[in-house]
Amino acid sequence: MTVLVVAAHPDDETLGCGGAIARHTDAGDTVIVMFLADGVTSRDPDADHAAELARRRQAAEAAARILGVADLAFGDLPDNRMDTVPLLEIAQAVELAVASYAPTTVYTHHRHDLNVDHRRTHEAVMTACRPQPGSTVATILAFETPSSTEWRTADPTSAFAPTWYVDIGATLDRKILALEAYAEEMRPWPHPRSTQAVRHLAHWRGSTVGREAAEAFVLTRHVS
């Protein structure tokens, strides 16, 4: 089985579904991770970002090794400004990846995250994975990204309401190890993007379904 993870920034894939990725690769599935923006250049648009970009890529590669990811693709869309890029252009990039990897399962961002790149990524994935005849994509799952999903405007229609859980009791430690590769992106407790908060969330999601630890998803579409 081939799995495609489409994330806006390097670290979102591990925060959102690192435990599920490790379970897929343990089971022999091929996992490809595609990043659409670099996660760096919005911080100080006038600065020279070469070194920071290289570090972020190295972090992504280290995390991918820990999780067993087969291939990484790096996009160069403008960070935190993906709303300035036509949706068609973003969707075409995703479409190309879907055509070349032919995934059956796609993981991506929740539709209502606070981060504009996350929202744009979700839209692009839904556009690229239109259920046309011959489409390989059977399952689309939206993950939660600490410090973006729970920071959206509180509104029942935009709530992250999970319908799909993956037991990550056996892979949570690897997820945390992969997040440690992204040390520059992590924050001290009690920030939601701290390793402690990620562990707490995993145990909370697990406890809601009778498991030690879990990742929660919104099943966006499933065709069987």
Q: Residue 34 or residue 167: which is nearer to Zn ion going by CB?
A: 34
Q: Phi/psi at 7 (nearest 5 deg)?
A: -120, 150
Q: Residue 9 or residue 49: which is nearer to Zn ion going by CB?
A: 9
Q: Write down the least CB distance from residue 9 to Zn ion, Å.
A: 4
- Residue corresponding to tokens 């992204």: 182
| Pattern 160-189, Zn ion, x by CB under 5 A | ------------------------------
Point out which span in 1-9, 24-32, 83-91, 152-160 binds Zn ion (CB under 5 A). 1-9
Q: Binder to Zn ion among 12, 79, 167, 215 (CB under 5 A)? A: 12
Q: Write down the least CB distance from residue 157 to Zn ion, Å.
A: 22
Query: Does residue 9 bind Zn ion (CB under 5 A)?
Result: yes
Q: Write down the least CB distance from residue 212 to Zn ion, Å.
A: 27
Q: Is residue 194 within 8 Å of 175, Cβ to Cβ?
A: no
Q: Write down the least CB distance from residue 80 to Zn ion, Å.
A: 9
Q: Residue 16 or residue 206: which is nearer to Zn ion going by CB?
A: 16
Q: Residue 5 or residue 206: which is nearer to Zn ion going by CB?
A: 5
Query: Does residue 142 bind Zn ion (CB under 5 A)?
Result: no
Point out which span in 3-11, 23-31, 93-101, 212-220 binds Zn ion (CB under 5 A). 3-11
Nearest position to Zn ion, beta carbon: 9
What is the torsional sign of CA 44, 46, 50, 51?
negative
Distance CA 153, CA 188 (A): 24
Q: Write down the least CB distance from residue 16 to Zn ion, Å.
A: 9
Q: Residue 18 or residue 206: which is nearer to Zn ion going by CB?
A: 18
- Tell me the number of residues near Zn ion by CB under 5 A: 3
Residues lying near Zn ion in the complex (CB under 5 A): 8-9, 12
